[in-house]
A and B are shown apart, each in its own frame.
Chain A
């Protein structure tokens, strides 16, 4: 009980001394913390920006669907020297679509996609290079998304190869400036010179890695075939029930191999693309950034820590007599050690807090002035302060140890 009370009294006294020392020499305190402030603020800013990127990226790839496989000839992400391998592969056609529709038990929805770029025109307005996509009524089920006005394609549109068209919002906005989506439904437009009727307008989807997703016009794939040719490569979007995407992949592999007559022992000539691949690539990129942030942070914390150590050594030197007096009045070595450790930790914590504030400010500024987003998590703030405090403790050990081991007689006599 007595030792606890004594430890408590000494702890309170140490904080009081630290506070007095820090406020007594404000300029020095500020300059001492500067290294830590710069280090912590840099790391906090970088981390906040990366976390902001994470969030916006995750939002962007939502439309790809976490439970959807995209069956294609080539992977989304490939290295430069392999593209020819994929180009020579057999196209994916209606044959594979029918096979999957017929045989898959796991799939909840299958939609084909044929895509090209073409002209969409209305009166004098002519849009070049709109993404034109042929599909079926299953498109939204397999890919996600919804219509904001009118309807999506229906089965009869596909069976009868009707000239029905669902517009993305970018296309609508440019063809019918200022008109509400409901007013656009029913209008006639020309796709590659052929008349189509707008039956619906999609919800806005935003962009993926800078590519706009709303510059699109969707039609039945047989209608697409009549204009652009039926021999185009298809991509099949196949949706699995939640958590069953691996099952779906292992079920589809033999179905597709049979449909494409892949001989036993030969490798698959098709791939399953999925959202996860983007995530993986993205994580690799930001992983490197995180590594850099950690590296920068460590280096600046070490530099800041050395600054603190330096100032603490000066402080111990200046206060040699004070240390002698305290020892004469009954302070133990451990008391002096604690006093100086708390002081260096307090300087560093102050620097950490300041650095966190500056870092968050910089991140907000970057978010305001650039398209980058910034998000600060409480954990980042906590880490910033905790790490700087730890730095203060570690780099305070040597000065504190020196203070604690001063000879009281020498210290009292010191001028």
Chain B
């Protein structure tokens, strides 16, 4: 099983009591609380941690994108990919990912991803996501078109990568008269495509049909297994075999020399589960964004919201893993046994987890955990 390092690049640089005054940290928490100097320093710090994760032997560096939220100030996943493409050497660069439904120019996205792939020497893993509702508000994109735009944007990017230009694209949501990108990915026919899942059966089936790597995020094991079943249904429809390489899983994880230190560090993940997910339901799931099946599944997948769980419950539920290297190896082995995944994505830094703690965790993952887990 391969391990991936991931930080949301949080900007938790404001007094919590200020954030508590607003219905959510997303969309309406005023950006006067954005600290420019600290943000500048943090980008350097976060990139250093990614570079160290590459040196430590992580198979991949996962980056993501959100908007209008201090939980993630990585606001341009393709920009980060270009930077890491130049400053890292070995690890894959997993963009998980670009938010397709809110993109107005899939051709530009195809070009940017191709450029990142070229700069990185063909290390891009190109994840495509539907995004959470907050990004729909941020971009003023109609949520009832979310899935249609996701699929059409995907189709056009793939066409840019795989069919010779020039060509014309007249779709339902995208219209381009002259498509002929003079930038194509190094990997042939194109970078591998990854798809995350939290609650949408349709997305799992769709990814299965195409053989894309499918990664449930922060769901209970039994829900991940159900989503993998939908994935297998999609794969079976087209006679595609499913291997561990098609399946991944994402959890939060930190390690330290002692259990006490790790447990202390792991507390920082609670911010990501709690305060940053607090918002009216319409902000995360605006009308029409989810199908009825997706809505029903979401209710079952999350009988209790992550934000309502205590740290201890999050540890018990395996949403957060925090322990010594041996304990962490044990937990990761359990994930592998339970789910049969080939990729384990570790959200490995959050909130105010400091640089030395983060670096030490990366180092211990590299020296102790990765060698053991790679054999699983």
Q: Do A and B come from one complex?
A: no
